[in-house]
Amino acid sequence: MSRKKAVKGKAATSSPSAGSPTGKGTGKAARSSPGIVQMNGVVHPSRPSISNSSEFYDIAFKVMLVGDSGVGKTCLLVRFKDGAFLAGSFISTVGIDFRNKVLNIDGVKVKLQIWDTAGQERFRSVTHAYYRDAHALLLLYDVTNKTSFDNIQAWLTEIHEYAQQDVVLMLLGNKARHYGKYL
Ligand SMILES: Nc1nc2c(ncn2[C@@H]2O[C@H](COP(=O)(O)OP(=O)(O)OP(=O)(O)O)[C@@H](O)[C@H]2O)c(=O)[nH]1
């Protein structure tokens, strides 16, 4: 189990496949579970489909949050998912955890399965396995912590090694604002 956040999501320490899209852009379609067709790694459920959060969706993507411990990955995810800020003492993520969010974009229901990884070195071997079928990676650093920025190069090396070549990568300088009012 993951340490923090008693919210939805599932911690995992070994298998990256649970609930996540698979496929490596071969162009082949494969039936993985009733009503879900995987094409180029993107999940296209035959309508109507239902996500873990009991919402219908048309298409699903797997997104991963990566970066040093303490850069604010979990807080960002909780903020995005639930609109709340996790104030108080910092409890490091253990292993990996995820949350689903369904967005309506131009009339298309897009389900994001967002994986929150532990930034601590000792969990790297666990999180490496999850890069493979990620469609997008959000690489965070803390603008108030130079070391977390200096470590970006090491994260890029890791991403290059474990993620798909065509993964969408975004670099985010986090903690730029005072969370009390603006975050
Ligand atoms: N000021 C400020 N503090 C933040 C912000 N985001 C997170 N924090 C604080 O930074 C600390 C770490 O946040 P987490 O989200 O747990 O960090 P993490 O990257 O998930 O850390 P690991 O789980 O160890 O990988 C917590 O004490 C948060 O309250 C932010 O945007 N602004």
- pLDDT for 32 beyond 70: no
Task: Determine whether the shortest distance from the Cβ of 19 to ligand 1 is under 6 A.
Answer: no
Q: Max CA-CA distance within the chain? A: 48
Closest C-alpha to 115, from 1, 11, 4:
11
Q: Report the candidate in 62, 77, 163 with the shortest Cα–Cα distance to residue 113.
A: 62
Judge if the beta carbon of residue 72 lies within 6 A of ligand 1: yes
Which residue among 4, 86, 90, 122 has the greatest number of ligand 1 atoms within 8 angstroms of its CB, and so is best to mutate? 90
Q: Are residues 35 and 57 in contact, defined by beta-carbon separation less than 8 angstroms?
A: no
Place of tokens 């601590």: 120
What is the predicted pLDDT for the residue at 90? 86
pTM above 0.80, yes or no: no
Of 96, 81, 75, 74, the closest CA to residue 179 belongs to: 75
Give tens-digit pLDDT for 6-17.
Answer: 334 444 444 444
